[in-house]
Chain A
Amino acid sequence: MSAEPLLEVRDLKTQFFTEEGVVRAVDGISFDVYEGEIVGIVGESGAGKSVAAQSLLRLVESPGEIVAGEVRFRGEPIVEFEEAEEGGALVPTDRMLSDEEMRERIRGREIAIIFQDPMESLNPVYTVGGQLSEFIELNRDLSSAEARELAVETLREVGIPEAENRFDEYPHQFSGGMRQRVLIAMALACEPSLIIADEPTTALDVTVEAQILDLVNDLQERYDTSFIWVTHDMGVVAEISDRVNVMYLGEVVEQAGVDDLFHDSRHPYTEALLSSLPRPDQTVEELNPIEGVMPEAINPPSGCRFHPRCPEAREVCARHAPAPKAVDESESGPHRSACFRNDVFEVGYEESAPLEVEVGAGFSVGETDAAGAEMEGEE
């Protein structure tokens, strides 16, 4: 791992100001991305992973707003706040890159983003090749003939068959996997240092997903591009990432090298998530679901946000909120966990009384104990 991170994220907070109240979608997350690595962000829907990805490029739209924290790309402040002289509220600093600088220097050229639905990212009334070469022409100052040539070459590189002939076809004439390849081609075309991929394979079939993951591995080796890979799929994370951030309700609860995360996880949420998964490589007779559902980010639980569903919650977990701390160190960097169960926290977890897991909304899951309600068969 090189000394300086390519991207540094510190205490980033993004909130949505809705009629019902403030939704703290991303609530103080920190992580680094180094040159040439693939960093996974994994979590269930509503964990805030997509908002986190969009915040990195300042793509959050109203009513959402980045309210605090720092994002640095090669030392340059994409997001930076300071206290106002009067009142002490947080305001963006003067050093923070302007919208114009973001548009002209950063987005697309240095950091590209790939979204889940390729149909929405491509304009249906322009040809695929036209969109790609226009993008290249604008971002790389090439003539249109040169841009076209580079576009065909990039399409061939991402495995589009008959690239030359298909250049003039429209997005609807491409399959889902092929469209996602076009978006990868578009992301690659400006040779960015970092690509943020937000659930890029979720809408695809497994065999097509395998093709795309393979392609990304290939391209990453060849160009040494860094990736931030946002997904809900633990299998994809295991397959592709070097390091992983696990998000739960707006927070990063665990951060580790991929092998440590899966084989030595230090947070009960990660453990519970892994043991709730059916596996393709072995038969799991009994799944261990996580009790209850993830609460809304509008009114998160006190203390550790996972404590109402956590099988290992103690009384202290409801009172204090753990921030991620390094609990171990390996060649892939520090292993951080936001769980008091780890000794480094020294908050008296062991002495604290265990909590009964409360299950939200008065329904019992997992066990449907008959309790006298015996059903009579009709026959």
Chain B
Amino acid sequence: MSADTEPREELSTSEGEAVDFGEELLEVEGLTKHFTSEDGLLAGLTLDWDGGVPRPAYDREWVRAVDDVSFSIRKGETLGLVGESGCGKSTLARTILRLLEPTDGRVYFKGEDIASMGSERLRTRRKDMQMIFQDPQSSLNPRMKVGPIVEEPMRAHGMLDAEGREERARELLEKVGLDPQHYNRYPHQFSGGQRQRINLARALSVNPDFIVCDEPTSALDASIQAQVLNTMNELQEEFGLTYLFISHDLSVIRHISDRVAVMYLGHVVEVADKEELFENPKHPYTESLLSAIPVPDPRMAGRRHILEGDVPSPIEPPSGCRFRTRCPELVAPEEFELDAAAWDEVRAFMRAVDRQSFEADEPATIRREHFGGAVPGGRAGEIVEDAISNVLADEWAEATELLRSSFEEASICARELPAYRVDDELGDGEHFVACHLHRDADQVH
């Protein structure tokens, strides 16, 4: 994605070993992971009983957890991946490391495609890519002592002899801020923060280049979290590590990241340098997310716009931009020629009908409350009038469907997948945004 990067061909000819700082260590292209929502061979089998004779039908539902995601990570940097629960960020991380088989797409690590690699090659490559999980308790075997836990990856990759491994384990324990004397203790003798340090030592033991950290501090208290984050920063500097840091916590992301990617419902919607993303967000979802975080300063309280509704199901995600069903800035369909105020009224009315949040009695009342007395002119107005008649006849579902198909689905947001490159004002990198508000900018792909 970066302009000053060498072509990939050159990277792959060097057997994927030498990547300089600031150059792409990992490139993800169109990575996709779909799950069947039920397991088993016959899970998708249903019997259609209509017409007396049962007819078997085979139809599987796919959960589109990660869909066509592309980004890159440069050596030595921390890419923060932020999103709400269920957005697919952990699935993305696991698919990158091929702990899950990708449905489609490529993952180039030092120029080599991990997604299509043979299993033996993959096993040796995994030495360079480690992962740290959220729950420091369940990721440590309670019946193993700390020393052997840290040594295990080295053993698996045939590194050093027993003596050398023990020496290295002790060194690493000290590096991550634990007492090397604790080599013979069990995980339960440590606090949560200390256990996460053990996980760090284990990940570092095989001398990786790249560590995927999946919510590593989310289970920790604030003061302990700060200790662990500082240690992670120091280790990154000392060992030249590259992190993919996943978190739902924007404050942590802002502290630890160099660049940030924002995910929503399986799509990456915005990628930019940290300062650019936090100070100059371009995607309405990023803006909503930023304004939703409570700031630890009462003088900053109350300045926020609240996102309505819930995240839709990843089984049938919305077409086009997946955020469009909740987006406060949905682009008006061109054919209606509505001004901004009229379009706002139409959308507010559409939401109110969908949520059935008002009582339908008099058409005049509805017009007054939702449109200030007069519905918009032209074709748009006719549709609104039809919807009002539906509502008065207690046909809420029909009204919702009519409004949705006429307005929301006619918007460019529903018809085209957005992907644009906008000017980066605060950083010196690139700013990718998947939102049609920026359709004057360069299109990506």
Contacts and interface: CB of A to CB of B under 8 A. Distances in A.
A289 B224 contact: yes
Contacts of B10: none
B381 interface: no
Nearest to B300: A281
A238 B231 contact: no
Nearest to A238: B298
A280 B253 CA distance: 8
B191 interface: yes
B39 to A, nearest CB: 19
Contacts of A214: 304, 306
A377 B207 contact: yes
A293 B299 contact: no
B255 A289 contact: no
A90 interface: no
A3 interface: no
Given A164-B356, A283-B254, A289-B226, A363 B178 contact: yes
Given A235-B294, A238-B296, A259-B299, A287 B230 contact: yes
Interface in A227-241: 232-241
B222 A273 contact: yes
Interface in B244-273: 248, 250-252, 254-256
A22 B181 CA distance: 31
Interface in B281-335: 288-302, 304, 306-310
B179 interface: yes
Contact of B310 (A177, A238, A239): A177
B177 A280 contact: no
Contact of A205 (B85, B221, B225): B85
Interface stretch (B118-126, B133-141, B168-176): B168-176
B379 interface: no
B207 to A, nearest CB: 5
A287, A294, A377 — most chain B CB neighbours (10 Å): A287
Q: Contact size class for B?
A: 35 or more
B79 to A, nearest CB: 16
Interface residues of A, number: 66
Interface stretch (A63-71, A77-85, A122-130, A365-373): A365-373
B254 A210 contact: no
The majority secondary structure among interface residues of chain A is loop
Contacts of B354: 161
Contacts of B304: 210, 214
B227 A283 contact: no
B293 A362 contact: no
Nearest to B309: A161
Contact of A373 (B85, B174, B300): B174
Interface string B356-380: 1100000000000000000000000
B355 A161 contact: yes
B298 A262 contact: yes
B151 to A, nearest CB: 15
Contact of B355 (A162, A234, A235, A280): A162
A363 to B, nearest CB: 5
A368 B354 CA distance: 56
B296 A368 contact: no
B430 interface: no
A191 B72 CA distance: 54
Contacts of A239: 294-295, 298, 301-302
A278 B296 CA distance: 9
Given A162-B356, A289-B223, A363-B182, A280 B250 contact: yes
**In the A-B complex, the 10 residue pairs with the closest CB atoms:** A235-B294, A289-B226, A278-B255, A161-B355, A210-B292, A290-B223, A276-B226, A205-B84, A287-B226, A234-B296
Interface of A: 44-45, 156, 161-165, 175, 177-178, 205-211, 213-214, 232-241, 258-259, 262-263, 272-274, 276-281, 283-284, 286-290, 293-294, 361-366, 368, 370-371, 373, 375, 377-379
Given A236-B294, A363-B178, A368-B176, 12 more contacts: A44-B222, A44-B223, A156-B357, A233-B294, A239-B294, A283-B255, A283-B274, A286-B230, A293-B224, A371-B174, A375-B172, A375-B239
25 contacts: A161-B355, A161-B356, A165-B356, A175-B310, A205-B248, A206-B293, A210-B292, A211-B307, A238-B296, A238-B301, A259-B299, A263-B299, A276-B225, A280-B251, A281-B300, A290-B223, A363-B182, A364-B179, A366-B177, A366-B227, A368-B174, A370-B238, A373-B175, A377-B207, A377-B239
